[in-house]
Amino acid sequence: MKLALRHAFVLAVCAFAIFPILFVVSAAINPLGTLASTELLPTGAGLANFGELMTSDVYPFGRWFFNSVFIALLSSFASLLLSMFAAYAFSRMRFAGRRVGLLALLLIQMFPQFLAIVTIFMIFTRVTELYPAFGFDTVWGLMLLYLGGALGVNTWLMKGFLDTVPKELDEAATVDGATHAQVFWKVIMPLVTPILAVTALLAFITTMSEFLMANVFLRDPESKTLAVGMYGMIAGDRRNENFGMFAAATLLTAIPTVSVFLWLQKYIVSGLTSGAVKG
């Protein structure tokens, strides 16, 4: 394909991707700060909505921001590791129940999740009584809950990638006397950096915008994440008046995600495996 054509196509898709975001930007800098007064090109511009957001007594935005980023970073890192362990076993080892296990991972995700929330609520009511440090309104409890989803479609994604990494590499290491742990940490992990980066980003984004479970779990305003807090901002009849603030918050929420993406981008495109087994 001609390069110009490629550019034209990608630009068109970019326009599609960005125009709703322009609307949000316009709402965020709209000095009136209401939904009804927002248009694609703002009639005036000001940072009043951002200022209001930062100084609000009702909405501790800074605290939510910190909570979200902290939970997302830590839980995506932990779930990445758990998922990679499993993917390594599924891709490189043959054992009874391998196929069933893989299928089960896929099927368990298909159950309509938000009913299970009733049960999760009951589990954590008990956990809160026994171990307050992991109960409701705590970062650690929510993190444990998110780790429940560590094995799932991301494991599949990594396994698929691992399957395309030549087996000769780790066989060679094994012949040289490496243990399975050494093969995993010293041979496999460096080779799978691109997919690790992709999965880390996916896990980060999912956690940042996860709403259903966090909404049940975090009730104290100080412990809320961005998604939960922002939903409260426009819940009920506050929708129109708080829309500017809400739009400003939406934009700020995208900042950590885009930063993580920028940080991981160089790993995503480093095609480390190509040429690894060249003679």
Partner 1 sequence: MPPDVRETVEASQAPRPRRNITTAFVVSRIAVLAVAAAILLYAAPPLVATGSWIGLAVLLGATAVIGYLYLTRRYVPAKYLVPGTVFLIAFQVFPVLYTVTTAFTNFGDGHRGDKAAAITAIERGSVRQAPGSPEYQLTTALRGGELVFLLVDPATKQVRLGDAGGLSPLPGAEVGVTGKVLRAPGVTVLTAPQAAARGEEIAALTVPTDGGAVKANGLSRAVEGRAALVYDAGCDCMRGEGGPWRADGSQGYFVNAAGEHLAQGWQVNVGLANFARVLTNPTISGYFLGVFGWNAVFALASVAGTFGLGMAVALALHHPRMRGTKAYRIALILPYAMPSFAMLLVWRDMFNRDFGLVNQMLGLNVDWLGEVTTARLAVVLVNLWLGFPYMFLVTTGALQAIPRELTEAAAIDGATPWKAFRRVTLPLLLVALTPLLISSFAYNFNNFNAIQLTTEGGPFPPENPQVGGTDLLITYTFRLAFGTGGAQFGFAAAISVFIFAIVAIVSAVAFRRTRKQEEVYA
Q: Which stretch binds partner 1 (CB under 8 A): 47-55, 59-67, 88-96, 216-224?
A: 88-96
Single residue of 55, 57, 95, 237 touching partner 1 by CB under 8 A: 95
Single residue of 176, 177, 236, 237 touching partner 1 by CB under 8 A: 177
Per rule CB under 8 A, is residue 103 in the interface with partner 1?
A: yes
Per rule CB under 8 A, is residue 131 in the interface with partner 1?
A: yes
Q: Are 141 and 71 in contact (CB under 8 A)?
A: no
Residue 234 Cα distances to 109, 150, 223, 225, 255, angstroms: 30, 31, 18, 15, 21
220 or 258: CB nearest partner 1: 258
Q: How far is the CB of 225 from partner 1 (least distance, A)?
A: 10
Instruction: Enter the DSSP assignment of 58.
Output: S
CA–CA gap between residue 112 and residue 168 (Å, rounded):
41
Per rule CB under 8 A, is residue 156 in the interface with partner 1?
A: yes
Region 44-73 residues binding partner 1, contact defined as CB under 8 A: none
Q: Which stretch binds partner 1 (CB under 8 A): 45-53, 54-62, 224-232?
A: 224-232
Per rule CB under 8 A, is residue 4 in the interface with partner 1?
A: no
Q: Are 173 and 74 in contact (CB under 8 A)?
A: no
Q: Which stretch binds partner 1 (CB under 8 A): 42-50, 51-59, 216-224, 266-274?
A: 266-274
CA–CA gap between residue 70 and residue 260 (Å, rounded):
13
Per rule CB under 8 A, is residue 151 in the interface with partner 1?
A: yes
Q: How far is the CB of 94 from partner 1 (least distance, A)?
A: 8
Residue 128 Cα distances to 42, 113, 133, 146, 222, angstroms: 48, 22, 8, 17, 18
CA–CA gap between residue 90 and residue 101 (Å, rounded):
9
